[in-house]
């Protein structure tokens, strides 16, 4: 069952059938809110999730829409916004494409597939035109970093990136966020924290990112930043290294970025460029030692960037600090912006269907 949301005064040709796959999760509910707040041209909306969520309803534009189980028929739409995990995307993306939909996938399932564009609309919107039915949403840390680095890279190509991330519980989902709250309460009451979602207690603690370790000694999260940034920037030669850490913040990631250029890049020039970069807000008050903080980035669309300074160890080095909402720009907002790009540029019809 779906709810028809068409308004008589709006032309049917300008409205689209949309499905959210994984609608009840942290990113799924954010997708729903963004479709409404950004007035995306939705004509018919399907909320899809696992069988255990069927029967629930979620609010949208004054209505309560039912949650359905995902099925072949439920994917007969124009756009699928997928946020249900890699295994679910692998199982259903090709089905949706065969039904005529374009899938914007938030998992890592297709990001490094050479036939699937990996898109940040403020950075490489042109890549979306090459889709064959699936477009991948990059990893949250990659999206936030590229928004700050790309405008500088356009002026003077970056030779090397050294990134250290401070990643919130939201990156592990809504259950991880609740676990941090429960653990914090337990510790403050003198009890031992219980861990079920994350491998170790995160409240009043931090640990290297919990994604699987690779043979190189880098975890998968760190390699996502390396490989995805190269793909988005269109350069496999760029030297990138990352250290990813899980920190006791509920929502919004932070990143310390060191950039190396072939020639000096003054902090003043970088500030001027980033002050007018799309999707970025410059936040600096040196007198008050006030710079981006995750608590202020939470719930915001912009990536907050500041503390831009000369690297005292390298004449061609530049340091910056950023914070961005992992659920919004790091996931849901970027996906909705891709959908908006497809509509604006009339790119919903692929030249050739994706074959898994």
What residues are annotated to the active site? 140, 253
SS3 of residue 348 by DSSP: coil
* DSSP H or E stretch at residue 105: strand 102-105
Which two tokens mark 138? 């990059």
Which two tokens mark 135? 């477009």
Return the exposure string of 63-87: e unless at least 16 CB atoms fall within 10 Å of the residue's CB, then b. eebebbebeeebbebbbbbbbbbee
Q: Which of 116, 120, 143 is nearest to 130 (CA)?
A: 116
Q: Which of 291, 286, 277, 287 is nearest to 321 (CA)?
A: 291
Q: CA 111, CA 117: separation in Å to the nearest integer? A: 7
Q: CA 321, CA 306: separation in Å to the nearest integer? A: 5
Q: CA 245, CA 315: separation in Å to the nearest integer? A: 28
Which two tokens mark 57? 């309803």
DSSP 31: H
Q: Would strands 102-105 and 134-136 be described as parallel, antiparallel, or unpaired? A: parallel
Q: CA 279, CA 292: separation in Å to the nearest integer? A: 14
Q: CA 96, CA 91: separation in Å to the nearest integer? A: 10
- C-alpha torsion sign, points 125, 114, 225, 94: positive
Long-range contacts of 185-194 (CB under 8 A, 24+ apart): none
Residue 344: Cβ within 10 Å count: 10
């Amino acid at each position: 069952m779906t709810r028809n949301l068409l308004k008589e005064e709006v032309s049917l040709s300008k409205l689209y059938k949309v499905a959210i796959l994984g609608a009840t999760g942290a990113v799924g509910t954010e997708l729903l809110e963004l479709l409404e707040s950004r007035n995306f041209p939705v004509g018919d909306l399907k909320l899809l999730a696992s069988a255990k969520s069927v029967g629930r309803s979620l609010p949208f534009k004054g209505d309560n829409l039912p949650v359905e189980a995902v099925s072949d028929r439920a994917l007969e739409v124009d756009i699928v916004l997928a946020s249900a995990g890699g295994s679910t995307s692998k199982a259903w993306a090709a089905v949706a494409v065969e039904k005529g939909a374009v899938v914007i996938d938030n998992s890592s399932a297709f990001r490094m597939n050479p036939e699937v564009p990996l898109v940040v609309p403020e950075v490489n919107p042109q890549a979306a035109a090459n889709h064959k039915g699936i477009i991948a949403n990059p990893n949250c840390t990659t999206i936030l970093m590229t928004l700050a680095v790309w405008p500088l890279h356009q002026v003077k190509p970056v030779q090397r990136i050294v990134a250290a991330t401070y990643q919130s519980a939201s990156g592990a989902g809504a259950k991880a966020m609740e676990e941090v709250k429960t653990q914090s309460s337990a510790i403050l009451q003198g009890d031992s924290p219980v861990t079920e979602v994350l491998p170790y207690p995160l409240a009043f603690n931090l640990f290297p990112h919990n994604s699987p370790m690779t043979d190189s000694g880098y975890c998968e999260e760190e390699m996502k930043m390396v490989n995805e940034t190269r793909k988005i920037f269109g350069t496999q030669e760029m030297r990138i290294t990352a250290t990813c850490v899980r920190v006791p913040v509920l929502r919004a990631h932070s990143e310390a970025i060191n950039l190396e250029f072939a020639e000096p890049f003054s902090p003043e020039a970088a500030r001027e460029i980033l002050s007018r970069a799309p999707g970025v807000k410059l936040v600096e008050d040196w007198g008050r030692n006030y710079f981006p903080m995750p608590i202020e980035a939470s719930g915001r669309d912009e990536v907050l960037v500041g503390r831009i300074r000369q690297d005292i160890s390298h004449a061609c080095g530049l340091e910056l600090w950023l914070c961005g909402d992992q659920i919004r720009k790091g996931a849901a907002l970027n996906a909705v912006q891709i959908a908006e790009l497809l509509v604006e540029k009339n790119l919903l019809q692929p030249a050739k269907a994706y074959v898994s």
